[in-house]
Amino acid sequence: MAKHHIEATVNGDAVEFLCETEETLLDVLRDTLNLTGSKEGCSSGDCGACSVLLDGRLVCSCLVLGCEVSGRKIETIEGMAKGESLHPLQQQFLKSAALQCGICTPGVLVASKALLERSPNPTETEVRYWLAGNLCRCTGYDKIVSAVMDAAAVMRKG
């Protein structure tokens, strides 16, 4: 069967690609567009390592088909830093040692950014439940949750 021709926006750039019907958005990002920052941990939507924003909504890109994103806006970890300057969340994660191996970090950062966009002053509980879809096996979550709350405070000050 012929491949589908899709046009979409990724991190502000217009992209077009061909994909098989069964290819996921994650496959397209990683294998076709060479954006390997989104990680594949489970392919079943349980680990959150492939988290991206689709028209501003947090999704697991392993659960979205490539052909579903026609005309839509995708934001990945690669678009989070603006040029030379890291996003306040990225800065805070570095400062607080909120990562160890780093494999979950792209997904956690994308998810945290989505949280702070809708809730600039989240409680610890809110952060924990929002990030419940992002597995981290190294940190025990402590420094991640603190870093998100500290970054929120920094961002509120502008």
Partner 1 sequence: MTGRARFGADYNLPGQLVGRVLRSPHPHARIVSIDTSKAEALPGVKAVVTRADFADQPSEFIPAGEMMMNYKDVVRNVMAREKALYEGHAVAAVAATSVAIARKALKLIDVKYEVLPHVIDVVEAMRPGAPLLHDDLFTAGVEPKPDKPSNIAKRLEIKVGDVEAGFKKADLIVEREFKTAPVHQGYIEPHAALATVSEDGSVELWTTTQGHFIVRAHCARLLGLDMGKVRVTATEIGGGFGGKTVVYLEPLAIALSKKAKRPVKMVMSREEVFKASGPTSGATVRVKMGATRDGKFVAGFAELKYQAGAFQGSPVQPGTMCAYAPYDIENVHVIGYDVVSNRPKVAAYRAPGAPISEYAVESVVDEIAKKLGLDPIELRMMNAAHEGTKAAYGPKFGPIGLEETLNSIKKTEHWNTPLRKWQGRGVASGFWFNIGGETSVSLTVNEDGTISLMAGTPDIGGLRAALASVAADELGVPVEKVRPIIGDTGSLGFNFLTGGSRSAFSGSMAIVEAAKQIKSELVARACKLWEAKPDQVEWKDGAVRPLGALAEKVKPMTIAEFAKISGKLGGPIGGVGRINAQGAGPSFGTHLVDLEVDPETGRTTILRYTVAQDAGKALHPAYVEGQFQGGAVQGIGWALNEEYIYGEDGKLQNAGFLDYRMPVASDVPMIDAILVEVANPKHPYGVRGVGETPIVPPLGAIANAMENATGIRFTELPMSPPKVLKALTDKGLNKA
Give the interface with partner 1 as residue ranges (CB under 8 A): 20, 30, 35-44, 46-47, 49, 76-78, 80-81, 86, 90, 93-94, 96-97, 99-106, 109, 124-125, 127-129, 131-146
Taking the complex as a whole, how short is the minimal distance between the CB of residue 19 and partner 1, in angstroms? 13
Specify whether the CB–CB gap between 110 and 80 falls below 8 A: yes
Task: Please report how close the Cβ of residue 153 comes to partner 1 at its closest, in angstroms.
Answer: 17
Q: Which is nearer to partner 1, 25 or 71 (CB)?
A: 25
C-beta of 66 vs 106, nearer to partner 1: 106
CB nearer to partner 1: give 138 or 155. Answer: 138
DSSP state letters, the chain? -PPEEEEEEETTEEEEEEE-TT-BHHHIIIIIS--TTS--S-SSSSS-TTEEEETTEEEEGGGSBGGGGTT-EEE-GGGTSBTTBPPHHHHHHHHTT--SS-SSHHHHHHHHHHHHHH-SS--HHHHHHHGGGS--SSS-SHHHHHHHHHHHHHHHH-
The smaller minimum CB distance to partner 1, of residues 64 and 103, is found at 103
Smallest gap, in angstroms, from Cβ of residue 5 to partner 1?
19
Work out how close the CB of 24 gets to partner 1 at its nearest, in angstroms, rounded to a whole number: 12
